[in-house]
Structure 1
């Protein structure tokens, strides 16, 4: 307890932030559906959020360098609260899309600041424990934020105001904390050519996974409503896949450490494509059939990102693990911009199944590409590979997450690289 008391304020602030984010992520598609917004408009909410999220990852380090961590965190939380309240006041999709983009900027920025603080406060020997607890706190808080929608009327103002309250509450623990401000945030350096030379599977795969995961994360609740599930069931349909994905990372990680990670990725993509096909062909309407398929879908799609990340790090140059993670995150974000838009168009044209037609296309492309790469590039031996690290879901991961999850050796390499960069040529 003595080790974790100094970071308890930061974990509490992160929990409030993720709780509000869970409310925000679900209330918009639920309320938008009730207001008669089209599937395309609802998909654009996810596109706006992903665009804002990528922008926030790139912009936040500059803001923090200018005004400091606490002020920057306050700005992010305040703007996020304003955005969700403005969404209540202006019930039109063309206002909601830019407001959702603002939320994405704020959420990425606030999460980066909290993670930077935690990374600084975590002793090297406790870094793995801190990262594990942080991941668990975020998973529980975001899931609770989604499930809380089952306790009231989504047609009123309650959940918009509740989300704003918890965005504001996230300010309090860090504002009163006596912890010293951490080092500057990670500046994301996106080297697409370098990443592609390192691992084409990682670059193309993380882009496709970004399309699939963001489409489901934005429009999963809309699909559930279209097939006739009640609100409480819609919340479970959106939350259960994330929980299943978190649980599946343990056996998936153990398997990927013992065999070629690319075959593990093919297997996960095949399972995801099979569940996509089941949603399309069976068109289930019962609660338990939808939840069973959603759990299988989540176990597959939300385990892919950490497998891809581990594969990329296996091939990364020594000392480049953190930069690799940040670059892949940006590519995932680009996929997150495209996914909801494509799925929204599909659901507008062909109905609810359009969501899973988008996913199955992404997963089949992933399978074909990875099998082709396996045929032209030999896999690594078990001794040549690093260890799989369970990673939070891609939508809640920032470049600072890589810092928090880094080993002592990787942190030292990052600090040395930063020192060299400051010296210049």
Structure 2
């Protein structure tokens, strides 16, 4: 408790932020679908978020250097609240896309500030455990935000106002905290050519994982509504894949530490492809089968990113971990921009299950290219591997997460006794 009390305000602020983010991420596609927005427009919500998020990761360190952590965090949380209220006032696709991008920018910056603050406030020996608690708090708050929509009417102003309230509440704990201000945020110069030479599989795969994850994460609520699931089931359908992905990271990580990570990545991609094709071929209509397939898909797609990062670091030169993680995050972000746009267009032109045609194509590309590279390059020797670290990809990943996970997270390697 002595370790966690000094950072309680940061964890509480992050919980408020992720709770509001959960409401924000679900109310827009649900309400937009009810308002008759096209699938293209709803897909562009995810594209707008990804563009804003990538821009935030690049630009916020300079903002923090200029005005400080507390002021920057307060401004970003307030602007996120304004964007949410603006979405309630201007119920138009183009306005929502722009405001969603603004919110993505603010969310990225706020998360970077909290994570750098947490890193400074904890000693290296306990930092891995602290960030584990931080990840659980974020996951719980985000899931609670999704499920909150089951308690009221989504056709009114209430959930927009509730999300705005919690965005504002997120700045209160840090504003009143007496903890010391941390050092400036990480600013990384990326070398994408060097990253490609280091690990073509990692760069190629992380782009397509960004395509699939962002497409599914943005448009899953739209699919669930249009196949006839009630709002409660829609919220659960959105939350279950994230929870499944969190559960699967540890066993898949242990497996990837013991064999060629490319084989593990291929196997996970095959599971994801099987789930994609099941959505298309079986065309489930009932709640339970849809939730089961969503869990299989989420457990697969949300476990791929940390395998890719670990594989890239297996081939990395010493001291380049943060550059590698930064380059992979940027590539993932580019895929996240492409995925919802293409999937939204496909759902409009082909039908609602075209979402899974897009994710299936992405996973098929990962499988084919990884198998081809396995024939071209030998696996890394067991004693030369880096350690697998569970990492959240997408909406809660940035350079601060990457730096901490590379330097401070506990290893999943076993000792000589096998424990």
Q: TM-score, normalised by structure 1?
A: 0.95
Q: Tell whether the 8 Å contact from 2:83 to 2:99 is kept in structure 1 after alignment.
A: yes
SS state of the match for residue 66, structure 1?
helix
In structure 2, the partner of 1:347 is 347
In structure 1, the partner of 2:13 is 13
In structure 2, the partner of 1:220 is 220
In structure 1, the partner of 2:257 is 257
In structure 2, the partner of 1:190 is 190
In structure 1, the partner of 2:417 is none
In structure 2, the partner of 1:120 is 120
Q: Distance in 2 between matches of 1:394 and 1:92?
A: 26
Q: Tell whether the 8 Å contact from 1:57 to 1:188 is kept in structure 2 after alignment.
A: no
Q: Distance in 1 between matches of 2:93 and 2:140?
A: 29
- Is 1:70 aligned with 2:65? no
Following TM superposition, by how much is the alpha carbon of 1:4 offset from its aligned partner in structure 2, in angstroms? 1.2
SS state of the match for residue 329, structure 1?
helix
Q: Distance in 2 between matches of 1:140 and 1:334?
A: 27
Q: Distance in 2 between matches of 1:212 and 1:205?
A: 11
Q: Distance in 2 between matches of 1:115 and 1:290?
A: 35
Q: Tell whether the 8 Å contact from 2:389 to 2:406 is kept in structure 1 after alignment.
A: no
Q: 1:66 to 1:209 in 2, by over 3 A?
A: same
Which runs of structure 2 are paired with 1:22-41 in the superposition (5 Å)?
Answer: 22-41=22-41
Q: Distance in 1 between matches of 2:408 and 2:298?
A: 32
- Is 1:140 aligned with 2:149? no
User: What is the aligned length?
Assistant: 410
Q: Tell whether the 8 Å contact from 1:343 to 1:354 is kept in structure 2 after alignment.
A: yes
Q: Tell whether the 8 Å contact from 2:189 to 2:323 is kept in structure 1 after alignment.
A: yes
Q: Tell whether the 8 Å contact from 1:51 to 1:333 is kept in structure 2 after alignment.
A: yes
Q: 1:129 to 1:168 in 2, by over 3 A?
A: same
Q: Distance in 2 between matches of 1:43 and 1:359?
A: 14
Q: Distance in 2 between matches of 1:329 and 1:195?
A: 12
In structure 1, the partner of 2:52 is 52
Q: Tell whether the 8 Å contact from 1:119 to 1:403 is kept in structure 2 after alignment.
A: no
- Which runs of at least 4 in structure 1 moved beyond 2 Å after TM superposition? 403-410
Over aligned residue pairs, what C-alpha RMSD do you find? Answer: 1.1
Q: Distance in 2 between matches of 1:326 and 1:130?
A: 22
Where does structure 1 lack aligned partners over 5 or more consecutive residues? 411-425
Q: Distance in 2 between matches of 1:116 and 1:255?
A: 30
Q: Distance in 2 between matches of 1:375 and 1:122?
A: 44
Where does structure 2 lack aligned partners over 5 or more consecutive residues? 411-419
Which runs of structure 2 are paired with 1:22-421 in the superposition (5 Å)?
Answer: 22-407=22-407
Following TM superposition, by how much is the alpha carbon of 1:394 offset from its aligned partner in structure 2, in angstroms? 2.5
Q: Distance in 2 between matches of 1:101 and 1:408?
A: 31
Q: Tell whether the 8 Å contact from 2:128 to 2:409 is kept in structure 1 after alignment.
A: no
1:342-384 Cα shifts (integer Å, max 9, x gaps):
0000000011111101000000011000001100000012211
Following TM superposition, by how much is the alpha carbon of 1:233 offset from its aligned partner in structure 2, in angstroms? 0.3
Following TM superposition, by how much is the alpha carbon of 1:180 offset from its aligned partner in structure 2, in angstroms? 1.1
1:398-417 Cα shifts (integer Å, max 9, x gaps):
1111223243599xxxxxxx
Following TM superposition, by how much is the alpha carbon of 1:95 offset from its aligned partner in structure 2, in angstroms? 0.5
Q: TM-score, normalised by structure 2?
A: 0.96
Q: Distance in 1 between matches of 2:137 and 2:403?
A: 18
1:267-307 Cα shifts (integer Å, max 9, x gaps):
01100011100101111000000000000000100000010
Following TM superposition, by how much is the alpha carbon of 1:207 offset from its aligned partner in structure 2, in angstroms? 0.4
1:317-346 Cα shifts (integer Å, max 9, x gaps):
101112211111111000000000000000
In structure 2, the partner of 1:421 is none
Q: Distance in 2 between matches of 1:39 and 1:323?
A: 36
1:122-143 Cα shifts (integer Å, max 9, x gaps):
1010111011111111111111
SS state of the match for residue 298, structure 2?
helix
